[in-house]
Amino acid sequence: MNKLMITAVVMMASLGAHAASTFSSFDKNDDGFISKSEAAVSTELSSDFDKLDSNGDGKLSKQEFRL
């Protein structure tokens, strides 16, 4: 049981690190947000942008990107 829990924690940490590195790859101007123009390089992100932009400010924060 303990090995399973440890494995799950390690996997979640890896996913979080991957999300952060992916976020950085989209945030070209390093302002901490992904704009629609920065998201345009990905068809999938562009199509989901408005759904992910939960506060409707026209940009994705790290928190919105992880949803």
Check residue 38 and give its pLDDT: 96
pTM: 0.69
Check residue 58 and give its pLDDT: 97
pLDDT band at residue 9 under the 50/70/90 scheme: very low
| Mean pLDDT to the nearest integer, 37-49 | 94
For the chain, what's the residue count?
67
The whole-angstrom separation of Cα 9 and Cα 17 is 12
The whole-angstrom separation of Cα 31 and Cα 14 is 24
Check residue 66 and give its pLDDT: 86
